[in-house]
Structure 1
Amino acid sequence: MKKILLSAAVLMLMFSCNKEENEIVDSPETTTLAHRGCASHEVLDRQLKEDPSLAQRMKEIEFNTEKTIAQGRIVNGVLEIPVVFNVLYRSSSENISQSQLQSQIDVLNKDFNAQNSDFNTPNNPYSSIRANVGIRFVLDKVVRKRTNKRSWGTNDAMKKSNRGGIDPTSPTTKLNYWVCTIGGGILGYAQFPGGSSATDGVVIDSKYTGTNGTASYPFNLGRTATHEVGHWMNLRHIWGDSTCGNDQVSDTPTHNTANYGVPSVGHRSTCSGTPLEMYMNYMDYTDDRGMYMFSNGQKSRMLSVFSTSGPRASFR
């Protein structure tokens, strides 16, 4: 098990990844993806380079997160988050239906409240620390806009009307969810707490949103949004974005790297102590059917961002 190490977190944020995603314009999208692709860490790395003050803000968030968890000052009850869908479409298939968008809200509500049908999957070695996060999502409104772009990349162009996208709606009180074709094998990405409100929210491809309509196997159960909203609430990938890295959560095991597909029960890390990997965690890279839980430590970390001193306190 890992201890939360503030200094390690800051170093990880600043130096652990030097890959930068570029905008992808008018390039064809692959028809089938073999593995989950999340660009949240790469987008964060770009934002850290573009805004030198972001590292200090995130350092302060980490300090307040540790303090809030240690003192037990976590939001009680169920927090309700309004969701604004910003749909950018070139074809009719990309202009996904209200039903498909609502199915995504339904998945978020189940996954964040331990009501998902696979929550009680047998032989889960981590069943004792499964979390009911206690956050409710409500569809606030849908904004739709036709575009000529085939794909948008990961440089936040879809969030800016002056670049053909859609500006966020009340990003300090509503979760903005952009639906568009990202390209480059990326299913989605999120902005971590501390970034600019002008680009705050999550971006997810229309083919990996919700559970009906154009939702595509093996990412057709709405778990891409669960994963990305986890990032939006300050969760890291479970392997810490480096070999045997640290996700800053005390009750998740150390992972070698990302898991793909659906690993067999009993899959062990080769990191120190060879712990059982928590591949069924929403913050790994498994197929949608392979992920079905957050841990209690992740719950505390997520709820801390909504505390009175947290970076998303305005959502209370």
Structure 2
Amino acid sequence: MKKVFLSAVTALLLFSCQNDSTESADSNVSAIAQRGCATQEVLEAQLKADPTLAIRMNEIEAFTNKALLTGKLVNGKVQIPVVVNVLYRTTAENISNAQIQTQIDVLNKDFNALNSDFGSVPALFSGVKANVGISFVLDQVIRKSTTKTSWGTNDAMKKVAQGGLAPTSPTTKLNLWACKIGGGILGYAQFPGGASATDGVVIDTQYFGLSGSAAAPYNLGRTGTHEVGHWMNLRHIWGDATCGSDLVSDTPTHNTANYGVPAYPHYSTCSGTPVEMTMNYMDYTDDNAMYMFSNGQKSRMAAIFVTGGPRAAFGI
């Protein structure tokens, strides 16, 4: 297992180097064939547009590492109210309240180790598999008809002037947008530290929840789990670079993203050739192949909710 203990100085350098690594979806590969998450690309665009974002994220990283090193994490349980913004052109895109609730249910199971496949975690990782202990409750559903065939990843769906829906109380509520993204992208999220006017998670309508238009192999609501993980400050498990770091100490070093349903054990080509944690929610595997967070990821998520953290307004 890798060990990651960043000093404040290291943290201040982290985001200045962010553009050195990118993830991109192969435009020749269909969205069904491989998972596509645009969170990293959206972050890079936001960093270019707003130089102060790097400063805020560096401060969050320094705060997170201080919280981890001092052990000052609260054991209380966070319950997050969720606002779902549905932007639809067709009947299929106007997903039902029942389908929306299935996504909330999946989040509650996955973040509380209640998912039926949690017991499938291999023995090698059983000592670090986590019950994150964060719950979600549906607060409101807002719907808007649109003529757009796709929204892209430039946050247009979050802006009224561009035909979208602005987030509702983003400092105290998690906003989800269900809309047609396009470009082979299943979803994307905004990391802590970004502008409140664009804060939240976007999930393509076709991969939202368990029913209706949800399509295999991304029909188990895990796109939502993956993207909410980003919203809670988790990086992709391969660190968005060859043998990169996800800033978590108990996840193995991955050489790159994994797709589909990898056979276990899948060995990394990085130093030490560790067995990769392909079943982690922050990899790119199919929905039925991801079913765990680690204790290190749990601690990293918890740090954003404590007093002084970037999402402290949600309270624990």
TM range (shorter): over 0.9
Matches of 2:283 and 2:34 in 1, distance apart?
11
Aligned to 1:160: 159
1:284-299 to 2 correspondence within 5 Å? Answer: 284-299=283-298
Question: What SS class does the counterpart of residue 297 from structure 1 fall into?
Answer: helix
Question: What SS class does the counterpart of residue 128 from structure 1 fall into?
Answer: coil
Question: What SS class does the counterpart of residue 88 from structure 1 fall into?
Answer: strand
Say whether residues 1:4 and 2:26 are aligned partners. no
Matches of 1:180 and 1:10 in 2, distance apart?
35
Query: Which moved further from structure 2: 208-217 or 66-75?
Result: 66-75
Say whether residues 1:95 and 2:94 are aligned partners. yes
Give the letter aligned to residue 146 of structure 2. Answer: T
- With structure 2 as the length reference, what TM-score do the two structures score? 0.94
Say whether residues 1:34 and 2:33 are aligned partners. yes
Measure how far apart 1:268 and its partner are. Answer: 0.5
Measure how far apart 1:3 and its partner are. Answer: 1.3
Aligned to 2:26: none
1:112-127 to 2 correspondence within 5 Å? Answer: 112-121=111-120, 123-127=122-126
Measure how far apart 1:15 and its partner are. Answer: 3.3
Matches of 1:13 and 1:98 in 2, distance apart?
39
Measure how far apart 1:73 and its partner are. Answer: 1.6
Write the deviation string for residues 173-202 of structure 1: whole angstroms up to 9, x where unpaired: 000000000000000000000000000000
Task: Note if contact 2:6-2:65 (Cα within 8 Å) is conserved in structure 1.
Answer: no
Q: 1:19 to 1:179 in 2, by over 3 A?
A: farther
- With structure 1 as the length reference, what TM-score do the two structures score? 0.94
Query: Which moved further from structure 2: 5-14 or 174-183?
Result: 5-14
Matches of 1:207 and 1:91 in 2, distance apart?
12
Q: 1:15 aligns with which of 7, 14, 17?
A: 17
Task: Note if contact 2:14-2:58 (Cα within 8 Å) is conserved in structure 1.
Answer: no
Task: Note if contact 1:305-1:312 (Cα within 8 Å) is conserved in structure 2.
Answer: yes
1:211-222 to 2 correspondence within 5 Å? Answer: 211-222=210-221
Give the letter aligned to residue 153 of structure 1. Answer: G
Measure how far apart 1:10 and its partner are. Answer: 5.1
Aligned to 1:203: 202
Task: Note if contact 1:192-1:232 (Cα within 8 Å) is conserved in structure 2.
Answer: yes
Matches of 2:21 and 2:42 in 1, distance apart?
9
Task: Note if contact 2:22-2:241 (Cα within 8 Å) is conserved in structure 1.
Answer: no
Write the deviation string for residues 60-96 of structure 1: whole angstroms up to 9, x where unpaired: 1011001111122212221100000000000000000
1:237-252 to 2 correspondence within 5 Å? Answer: 237-252=236-251
Matches of 1:19 and 1:61 in 2, distance apart?
20
Task: Note if contact 1:14-1:48 (Cα within 8 Å) is conserved in structure 2.
Answer: no
Task: Note if contact 1:38-1:186 (Cα within 8 Å) is conserved in structure 2.
Answer: yes
Matches of 1:124 and 1:161 in 2, distance apart?
49
Give the letter aligned to residue 66 of structure 1. Answer: N
Task: Note if contact 2:77-2:133 (Cα within 8 Å) is conserved in structure 1.
Answer: yes
Task: Note if contact 2:11-2:62 (Cα within 8 Å) is conserved in structure 1.
Answer: no
Measure how far apart 1:12 and its partner are. Answer: 4.8
Question: What SS class does the counterpart of residue 120 from structure 2 fall into?
Answer: coil
Aligned to 2:143: 144
Matches of 1:119 and 1:302 in 2, distance apart?
19
Matches of 2:166 and 2:234 in 1, distance apart?
25
Say whether residues 1:62 and 2:50 are aligned partners. no
Measure how far apart 1:18 and its partner are. Answer: 6.5
1:295-306 to 2 correspondence within 5 Å? Answer: 295-306=294-305
Aligned to 2:103: 104
Sequence identity percentage = 67
